[in-house]
Chains A and B, each alone.
Chain A
Amino acid sequence: MSNAIEMRGVEKTFGVTKVIQGVNLTVAKGERHALIGPNGAGKSTTFNLISGYMKPSAGSILLNDREISGLPPFRINRLGLSRSFQVTNVFAKMTVWENLRCAVLWATGHRYAFWKNIDNLPEVRERTAQILQDISLVSRRDVPAGLLTYAEQRALEIGITVAGGADVILLDEPTAGMSNAETERAVEQIRRLTEGRTLLIVEHDMSVVFGLADRISVLVYGEVIASGTPDEIRSSRKVREAYLGEEAA
């Protein structure tokens, strides 16, 4: 089975501080993989490196066996990787409908077209409607994204991420700041939306992590100290000492 994401000896240095020190991480195709670790361990930086938001200082990153380190984010996105953001990052003045439509346009091949009427593209319309329904925001279709509630914005964030049909999805703390009921709904939604795709998720809520992930990697001080099934991670002494133990204490 080939890998969707493969990081080999990836390093990232800010000034003199090495935030990521030789990360090796593999995410198999179709797998739901969670990346956990204490605050400041470099989880978001790892996401930023994979998605092209930052360039790695050393090492190589492969997406579906293709080298992507150093490529700009839009090229990586076109190769089939899409990410969400920890802090909601939407098009605030545009409506929910327009937000989702923007996320569909490149994938449907319309690119920079200035000779096509946007209202006359049936496949764009259908796909946007499908995503809108999937994230349960149909009743909020014509509301500017900036006026949505927090949970709705998080749903839209995920909607934009999956709308383009990328087969590798990176979600950065999708349930942060949500109530228990909202979290449950969000997890259900994520499970449904990423069906048949590869998912790499950063999450602090351990019930979400252990409920959703097929495999878990633990990142501490910029290094992956363990990678395995939820059971393996739960029973690993190294992980307990470095991370889970701290939380239990």
Chain B
Amino acid sequence: MTIAPPPPSAAERLKFYSVWIVAVAALVILPKIFSSGGSLTTFSLIGISIIFSLSYNILLGQTGMLSFGHAVYYGLGGFLAVHAINIIAKHKYAIPLPVVPLIGGIAGLVFAMLLGWVSTRRSGTAFAMISLGVAELVASSALILRSFFGGEAGISANRTKVLRLFDWSFGPQIQIYYLVAAWTLIAVIAMYALTRTPLGRMCNAVRDNPERVQFVGYDPHVIRYIAFCFSGFFAGIAGALAAINFEIANSAYLGAAQSGTVLFSTYIGGAGFFIGPIVGAIFVTALSLSLSDLTQVWQLYFGLIFIAVVMFAPGGITGLLMMHRPLIKAGTLTRVLPSYLIAFVPTLAMIVGLILTIEITVYHTVNPGDDPHIKAFGIPFDASNHGVWAIAAVLLVGGFLIARKSWALVAARWDDALTEARAKGVAA
């Protein structure tokens, strides 16, 4: 073993760059396959959410700071972008639309620089509480300072009125999609590069042990502050793209729900991995768009998913997938897979039972006067039929009891496979 880690081999370098090339190709090809306006909007929202979630993870995953108010920088980026578009259009400045997200980013950066110095003095509870306080402060001023924030209605803009570049009006959604895709790619690369710098490495050190950082010459406050500023910058870019996409910015951009969603995406995706927030942003955005069509109480399901992830998969979706790496390397994954299938059936039954129970309860508590023939997740059933109640109860309770046994089986198989992988010399 050489002392220093060897520089990446040609094969590793090729693998690294091909990931990025595949990503670019996927971004270009996606709209050719799914060309409907709806899917283009979905892709645009996912791209925005990826930038926003990654910016949040500079705080949570990289530097160990839990913020409850990250939407402040997203929202201010959005408002500044809308004002910028209006000013550019009014004075006919020679600034094309693709540059506007940078204005949003600078807005996010400036506000992070102003608001972050005090809150980054501490991490942990103090930081979380101050972030919450600042978020409330900004969200309430959004309703008071009407000339800037436009009150309840917000401020709208017409994105087609700015200088045209190569005859792109940015009216059609496909052009917005490419704008978002390009910015997403730039932001993802920039944020990845940031993790590979002295500052990025020291962010991890502050996350692990802020006390010790002081004894190797660094001021953890300064590290947290710089990380916070970067985080605000990229959040501002995401907010500006959202404002361009919707042609409006309103107080919801800055609100607690928006701050909650980004925490949610990042955590579900896996804050411990660089790609975690990307996975989370795709999952949560796609799910929130589809779930809201399927059921009235989609937020409730979101809450349940979040609790399930926190309890059973603290590493998020990415963490779950990464757990399998040593097994794949050692070729012992096949020992686990059959047990997954066995566990899948009762777990699914339990989930169906849970969904039925929730939907029946919602019907009887929220809309008791309506027609009991309701439809949830595309399946019609009669919520006042006692037979359905019985089925729900049997699925929920029976499913849970059997599922618990099957999970024990999965755990046992898992231990076997991992022991075997270790025996083959694969590090976990």
Chain A residues within CB distance 8 Å of chain B: 51-52, 72-74, 77-78, 82-83, 85, 89-94, 97-98, 101-103, 105-107, 110-119, 121, 125-126, 128-129, 132-133, 138-139, 141-142, 160-161, 163-164
Q: A112-B226, A117-B196 are in contact. Are A98 and B217 (CB under 8 A)?
A: no
- Looking across the interface, which residue of chain A has its beta carbon closest to that of B272? A93
Instruction: Let me know if B216 and A112 touch, CB within 8 A.
Output: no
Q: A111-B198, A115-B197, A118-B201 are in contact. Are A77 and B208 (CB under 8 A)?
A: no
Tell me if B86 is interfacial: C-beta within 8 Å of chain A: no
Instruction: Let me know if A110 and B198 touch, CB within 8 A.
Output: yes
Tell me if B313 is interfacial: C-beta within 8 Å of chain A: no
Q: A111-B198, A117-B197, A139-B1 are in contact. Are A106 and B223 (CB under 8 A)?
A: no
CB-CB under 8 A from A128, the residues of chain B are 4
| Bound form: Cα–Cα A57–B216 in Å | 25
Q: A112-B223, A132-B3 are in contact. Are A73 and B202 (CB under 8 A)?
A: no
Q: A92-B209, A98-B201, A105-B202 are in contact. Are A74 and B7 (CB under 8 A)?
A: no
| Bound form: Cα–Cα A117–B196 in Å | 6
| Bound form: Cα–Cα A138–B198 in Å | 22
Q: How far is the CB of B223 from chain A (nearest CB, A)?
A: 7
| Bound form: Cα–Cα A160–B209 in Å | 13
* Interface residue from A73, A92, A125 paired with B214 (Cβ < 8 Å): A73
Q: How far is the CB of A75 from chain B (nearest CB, A)?
A: 8
CB-CB under 8 A from A78, the residues of chain B are 217
Instruction: Let me know if B217 and A74 touch, CB within 8 A.
Output: yes
Within 8 A of A (CB), among B185-219: 193-194, 196-202, 204-205, 207-209, 211-219
- Looking across the interface, which residue of chain A has its beta carbon closest to that of B194? A114
- Looking across the interface, which residue of chain B has its beta carbon closest to that of A132? B3
Q: A97-B5, A129-B4 are in contact. Are A164 and B200 (CB under 8 A)?
A: no
CB-CB under 8 A from B216, the residues of chain A are 77, 82, 102-103, 105-106, 160, 163-164
Instruction: Let me know if B212 and A114 touch, CB within 8 A.
Output: no
Question: How many CB-defined contacts (below 8 Å) exist between A and B?
Answer: 114
CB-CB under 8 A from A89, the residues of chain B are 209, 211-212
* Interface residue from B198, B201, B219 paired with A72 (Cβ < 8 Å): B219
- Looking across the interface, which residue of chain A has its beta carbon closest to that of B216? A103
* Interface residue from A72, A114, A142 paired with B197 (Cβ < 8 Å): A114
Tell me if B230 is interfacial: C-beta within 8 Å of chain A: yes
- Looking across the interface, which residue of chain B has its beta carbon closest to that of A109? B198
Instruction: Let me know if A119 and B196 touch, CB within 8 A.
Output: yes
Q: Show 10 A/B contacts (Cβ-Cβ < 8 Å), sorted by A.
A: A74-B215, A74-B217, A74-B218, A85-B212, A90-B212, A93-B204, A93-B208, A102-B201, A102-B216, A163-B216
CB-CB under 8 A from B197, the residues of chain A are 113-118
| Bound form: Cα–Cα A72–B215 in Å | 10
| Bound form: Cα–Cα A163–B212 in Å | 13
CB-CB under 8 A from A97, the residues of chain B are 4-5
CB-CB under 8 A from A119, the residues of chain B are 7, 196
CB-CB under 8 A from A160, the residues of chain B are 212, 216
CB-CB under 8 A from B412, the residues of chain A are none
Which 8 pairs of residues, A with B, have the shortest CB-CB distance?
A: A106-B217, A73-B214, A91-B208, A114-B199, A129-B3, A110-B198, A129-B4, A103-B216
Instruction: Let me know if A141 and B212 touch, CB within 8 A.
Output: no
Q: How far is the CB of A144 from chain B (nearest CB, A)?
A: 10
Tell me if B390 is interfacial: C-beta within 8 Å of chain A: no
Instruction: Let me know if B7 and A118 touch, CB within 8 A.
Output: no
Tell me if B23 is interfacial: C-beta within 8 Å of chain A: no
Q: How far is the CB of B199 from chain A (nearest CB, A)?
A: 4
Residue of B1, B194, B215 most packed against chain A (CB within 10 A): B215
CB-CB under 8 A from B222, the residues of chain A are 112
| Bound form: Cα–Cα A83–B212 in Å | 10
Residue of A101, A105, A161 most packed against chain B (CB within 10 A): A105
Residue of A112, A116, A133, A160 most packed against chain B (CB within 10 A): A112
Instruction: Let me know if A94 and B215 touch, CB within 8 A.
Output: no
Contact with A along B1-30 (1 / 0, CB 8 A): 101110100000000000000000000000
- Looking across the interface, which residue of chain A has its beta carbon closest to that of B226? A112
Beyond known contacts A72-B214, A97-B4: 11 more, CB 8 A cutoff: A73-B214, A89-B209, A94-B208, A105-B217, A111-B198, A112-B199, A117-B196, A117-B197, A125-B4, A128-B4, A129-B3
Q: How far is the CB of A48 from chain B (nearest CB, A)?
A: 11
CB-CB under 8 A from B204, the residues of chain A are 91, 93-94, 98
CB-CB under 8 A from A93, the residues of chain B are 204, 207-208
Instruction: Let me know if B215 and A83 touch, CB within 8 A.
Output: yes
| Bound form: Cα–Cα A224–B199 in Å | 42
CB-CB under 8 A from B208, the residues of chain A are 91-94
CB-CB under 8 A from B194, the residues of chain A are 114
Q: A129-B3, A138-B1 are in contact. Are A107 and B217 (CB under 8 A)?
A: yes
| Bound form: Cα–Cα A236–B223 in Å | 50
* Interface residue from B201, B215, B226 paired with A73 (Cβ < 8 Å): B215
CB-CB under 8 A from B7, the residues of chain A are 119
| Bound form: Cα–Cα A52–B213 in Å | 13
CB-CB under 8 A from A77, the residues of chain B are 214-217
Residue of B198, B200, B222, B223 most packed against chain A (CB within 10 A): B198
Q: How far is the CB of B276 from chain A (nearest CB, A)?
A: 14
| Bound form: Cα–Cα A30–B3 in Å | 30
